[in-house]
Structures are given as structure tokens and as C-alpha cells.
Amino acid sequence: MGQIIAIDYGKARCGIAATDDMQIIASGLDTVQTPVLMEFLKKYFTENKVDEVVVGLPVDLRGNISEVETDILKFIEIFKKEFPAIQVHRLDERFTSKMASFFISQSGKNKKQRQEKGLIDKVSATIILQNFLEQRTR
């Protein structure tokens, strides 16, 4: 059994989270600049067995898809060509950034650390992945 990776895709940077090999625990992995995301994934996939990828679906409170979805769909198309054996899932990512900010604020980090956008992206990806794991077990 391999890992499941979650990607909180953004125009500037992407938060990435991964499960353990048993697909039980979601942990923040890294935040990478969007232009080098594929390079990062290629390297990661050569070093780790990954079975599935979950990409956040950016939906607002009214159920409208965010404009970044166009970029996400292009990324997924390229990803599927590069890694045809890895299954791609989508998961509503509403409120993940707000939840990430809240969890970070509760962690005892100082104000500068709490405002670091890369940390928020990584924690958001972790929340997306944890939500995916919980939905799967239902």
C-alpha cells in the first residue's frame, strides 16, 4: 500500500500533505512554488510509493467554483499524462484556510509564524487529506 498525497493548489504556491504508508495519518509535507510543483512531485514519487492524489476543489460559500479552478484543471491534465497509474480525486476545500489559520493560532506559534502563508497552505492540504480519509472510512 502506498501513500495518498493532498494538494492545496494555489496560483503562487501549493501546500502538500501525505499519509503514512498505511494511509491512516495525514501530515503536512511541504509548501512548494506552483511553477515547480511537477518537479517536486516527480522527485517525491521516485522516493515514495504513492497510490492516489487528492486535489482541493475551490468552492465559495455560494457553491461557485473559484477562478483558480482553470489552472487546477490544466495541472490535473498534465499530472494524469505524467502519472497515469495514480488516481486523482477532488475534494471540496471550503473553509480549509480558515481552519488552518485557527489551528495554527491555537498551536502557540508567534504572530509572524501564524501569518506565514506557506504554513497555512501546508496545514490546509493536511485538512483536505484528513477530510478525504474520514470520508473514505464512512
Q: What is the pLDDT of residues 77-90, one digit of tens each?
A: 999 999 999 999 99
pLDDT of 51:
97
Structural domain boundaries enclosing 28: 3-137
Residue 44: CB partners within 8 Å, gap ≥ 6?
A: 5, 50
Query: Exposed, middle or buried: residue 12 (CB in 10 Å: 0-12, 13-18, 19+)?
Result: exposed
If you average pLDDT over residues 33-37, what whole number do you get? 97
All cell numbers assigned to 74 = 490544466
Stronger pLDDT, 94 or 27, i.e. the higher one: 27
Average pLDDT (9-16) is: 94
Mean pLDDT, range 50-75, rounded to an integer: 90
Residue 30 phi, psi (nearest 5): -170, 170
Of residues 20 and 64, more confidence is placed in 20
Say if residue 105's pLDDT is above 70.
Answer: no
Q: Which class for 4: exposed (0-12), middle (13-18), buried (19 or more C-beta within 10 A)?
A: buried
Query: Structural domain tally of the chain?
Result: 1
Q: Per-residue pLDDT averaged across 42-61, rounded? A: 93
For the segment 63-88, the average pLDDT, to the nearest whole number, is 94
- CATH code, domain with 81: 3.30.420.140
Return the pLDDT at 60.
Answer: 74
Compute the average pLDDT of residues 26-51. Answer: 96
